[in-house]
Amino acid sequence: MIRTRFAPSPTGFLHIGGARTALFSWAYAQRHNGQFILRIEDTDLERSTQQSVDSILEAMTWLGLGVDEGPFYQTLRMDRYKQVIDELLNKQLAYHCYCSKEELDQMREEQKAQGLKPKYDQRCLHNPVAKPGVAPVVRFKTPRGGSVVWQDLVKGRIEVSNAELDDLIIARSDGTPTYNFCVVVDDWDMQITHIIRGDDHVNNTPRQINILQALNADVPIYAHVPMILRDDGQKMSKRTDAVSVMQYKNMGILPQALLNYLARLCWGHGDDEIFSLEQFIQWFDMDNVSTSPARFDIKKLFWVNAQHIKQTANQDLERLVLEAWQNQDTDYSKTVLNKVAELTHIKLVDILEIVKPRADNINALAFECGYFYHKIEVNAEDATKYLTEDGLRILDQFAHSIAAVNNWELAEIKQLIKDFCKLYNLKMPELGMPLRLKLCGVKETPSFDAVIYTLGKSEVLQRLNCK
Ligand code: GLU
């Protein structure tokens, strides 16, 4: 059975690149009826925080990337790491090293002076001298000669000569295991078959494969996916870019849109731009993952989001819009929420039907729905320009026409508007501008026949002050 994992270090929130890696690992498991495991790599006690763990879990839930097993926490597996370290020491596949920092520095300087690549010279392997009072580190005995080769599912064949690799420290002098070692033991114990991760980990892979082989463990298949950069090709930065997944939620991005965008950013299926998660699972393969770094384009993300908003059922959008108002917690949003409860004849699902082609995020959608319940205060400039004496006279006459409508149908209202403009020799905007401002408080709304129809007769007349 195919088993993949996502293994974030909880040293910050879940970022865009992490979400992409999680998505690919999750989708690969789904695609092959496999299992997806979540592992929290929290051994770096200084940088790991519970807050980061919580925010990663929150983001995974929001994205809808459910796990089959986990989360597992490395800090809860210390005994197991220790056991494997002892096993390697017993089998002489690892050894104690007593070298002090000064000794190692000197070794490095001498090697550099001789034009050699600095590397531990294995003096404690060949000539172990326990130093009283010095707690040793444990080093892994990297095979001499030969090389590590793997067929990366994204990057193709990769070969690294063992001569390039140091005898890496797998346990510090206080006994705590190091990063690469924990990853290996976990991937082994958790029977991970496919490791899909960012290509910033390519350098770790030969080290990890050597340890796996020393443990007689099956070596998983690796797929190193390229980094996601800013649109100017620079690395994304926490300070200047929205890198946290949850920031996108706050911007009104739908999780399915973010996943669609991230999938498409690093992978392709012909010309398909907009797809559901179900489609993605069916189509996803490693052959079509791009090999070069991707560039994050926020405008494109909003475009993808707009397409998903259009495809989302009005009932689901209703829930999101209500949630957006609740989260805004402003006087305006509170009033809107009260009016939603009060004006029961104005159905949010009906409003959504007409406003959803206009919004590229949920906050904008909430804005567009809001003025149906409570008109926005007209700004002074628009008032002076459009709510002139002439404008108001037109609206007054229009209100009389509206008052006379018996059959409240969209077609009827459309016809009335046409007849009204003809009768008073008006161009559409001459009626439309003051009308929109008076009804909604803004100049841009969906077509005003639909707005009038949705608001209902009494609400229209009340807003036109001519009940
Ligand atoms: N904990 C590592 C990270 O957050 C991932 C390790 C791995 O996928 O092997 O970058």
User: Pairing mode, if any, of strands 228-229 and 294-295?
Assistant: parallel
119: its two tokens:
């590397």
List domains and CATH numbers for the chain. Answer: 1-65+181-311 (3.40.50.620), 80-171 (3.90.800.10), 312-373 (no CATH), 380-463 (1.10.10.350)
Q: Which atom, in ligand 1's list, is nearest to the CA of 200?
A: 10
Give the Å distance between the CA of 274 and the centre of ligand 1.
29
Assess contact for 330 and 336: CB atoms under 8 A.
no
CA distances from 443 to 38, 120, 126, 152, 415 (A): 49, 72, 82, 56, 22
Cβ of residue 41 lying under 6 Å from some atom of ligand 1: yes
Residue nearest (by alpha carbon) to ligand 1 atom 6: 7
Helix (H) or strand (E) holding 437: helix 428-439
Give the Å distance between the CA of 9 and the centre of ligand 1.
6
The pLDDT-based confidence of 148 (bands split at 50, 70, 90) is very high
Q: Which atom, in ligand 1's list, is nearest to the CA of 11?
A: 4
Q: For the beta carbon of residue 114, count every other beta carbon within 10 angstroms.
A: 7
What pLDDT, on the 0 to 100 scale, is given for residue 130? 87
- For residues 429-454, give the mean pLDDT: 96
Distance CA(157)–CA(193), nearest Å, equals 18
Give the Å distance between the CA of 25 and the centre of ligand 1.
12
CA distances from 126 to 64, 121, 129, 302, 378 (A): 53, 9, 10, 61, 84
**Which residues are within 8 A (CB) of 181 and not within 5 positions of it... i.e. 6 or more apart?**
81, 84, 85, 140, 170, 171, 211
Read off the pLDDT of residues 207-258 as tens digits, 9 standing for 90 and up: 999 999 999 999 999 999 999 999 888 888 777 777 899 999 999 999 999 9
Q: Nearest to residue 283, comparing CAs of 265, 267, 269? A: 269
Read off the pLDDT of residues 336-361 as tens digits, 9 standing for 90 and up: 999 999 999 999 999 999 999 999 99
Distance CA(317)–CA(315), nearest Å, equals 5
Q: Residue 414 — φ and ψ, nearest 5°? A: -55, -50
Cβ of residue 374 lying under 6 Å from some atom of ligand 1: no
Contacts 24+ apart (CB under 8 A), 279-287: 280/27, 281/27, 281/30, 281/31, 282/31, 284/24, 284/27, 284/28, 284/31, 285/31, 286/28, 286/153, 286/154, 286/223
- For residues 144-160, give the mean pLDDT: 97
Give the Å distance between the CA of 66 and the centre of ligand 1.
18
The pLDDT-based confidence of 131 (bands split at 50, 70, 90) is confident
Distance CA(324)–CA(140), nearest Å, equals 53
Assess contact for 337 and 322: CB atoms under 8 A.
yes
Cβ of residue 8 lying under 6 Å from some atom of ligand 1: yes
Cβ of residue 5 lying under 6 Å from some atom of ligand 1: no
Assess contact for 178 and 82: CB atoms under 8 A.
no
Cβ of residue 9 lying under 6 Å from some atom of ligand 1: yes
| Cis-peptide, bond into residue 71, ω within 30° of zero | yes
- For residues 45-53, give the mean pLDDT: 94
Give the Å distance between the CA of 226 and the centre of ligand 1.
14
Q: What secondary structure letter does DSSP report for 70?
A: E
Contacts 24+ apart (CB under 8 A), 441-446: 441/371, 441/375, 441/376, 441/377, 441/378, 442/371, 442/376, 443/382, 443/386, 445/368, 445/371, 446/354, 446/355, 446/358, 446/368
Strand order in the sheet with 94-97: 94-97, 137-140, 169-171
The neighbouring-strand residues paired with 171 are: 138, 177
Cβ of residue 77 lying under 6 Å from some atom of ligand 1: no
Q: Mutate which of 37, 39, 41 to test ligand 1's pocket (most atoms within 8 Å of Cβ)?
A: 41
What pLDDT, on the 0 to 100 scale, is given for residue 50? 96
Give the Å distance between the CA of 204 and the centre of ligand 1.
10
**pTM of the full structure:** 0.94
Distance CA(343)–CA(45), nearest Å, equals 54
Read off the pLDDT of residues 56-98 as tens digits, 9 standing for 90 and up: 999 999 999 999 999 999 999 999 999 999 999 999 999 999 9
Cβ of residue 449 lying under 6 Å from some atom of ligand 1: no
Distance CA(3)–CA(37), nearest Å, equals 7
Q: Is 466's pLDDT higher than 60?
A: no
Residue nearest (by alpha carbon) to ligand 1 atom 7: 7
Q: Which atom, in ligand 1's list, is nearest to the CA of 197?
A: 8
- For residues 179-201, give the mean pLDDT: 97
Helix (H, G, I), strand (E, B) or coil at 407: coil
Assess contact for 160 and 232: CB atoms under 8 A.
no
The pLDDT-based confidence of 410 (bands split at 50, 70, 90) is very high
Read off the pLDDT of residues 357-375 as tens digits, 9 standing for 90 and up: 999 999 999 999 999 999 9
Q: Nearest to residue 436, comparing CAs of 362, 399, 386, 402? A: 386
CA distances from 344 to 204, 263, 339, 350, 438 (A): 61, 41, 8, 12, 21
Cβ of residue 7 lying under 6 Å from some atom of ligand 1: yes
Give the Å distance between the CA of 145 and the centre of ligand 1.
28
What pLDDT, on the 0 to 100 scale, is given for residue 240? 74
The amino acid occupying position 450 is A
- The pLDDT > 70 percentage for the chain reads 99
**Which residues are within 8 A (CB) of 366 and not within 5 positions of it... i.e. 6 or more apart?**
252, 321, 324, 325, 328, 333
Give the Å distance between the CA of 220 and the centre of ligand 1.
15
Helix (H, G, I), strand (E, B) or coil at 392: helix
**Sign of the CA dihedral with 50 first, then 10, 361, and 30 last:** negative
What pLDDT, on the 0 to 100 scale, is given for residue 467? 37
Q: Is 384's pLDDT higher than 70?
A: yes
Give the Å distance between the CA of 201 and the centre of ligand 1.
7
Cβ of residue 211 lying under 6 Å from some atom of ligand 1: no
102: its two tokens:
């000064």
Distance CA(48)–CA(149), nearest Å, equals 33
Q: Which atom, in ligand 1's list, is nearest to the CA of 208?
A: 9
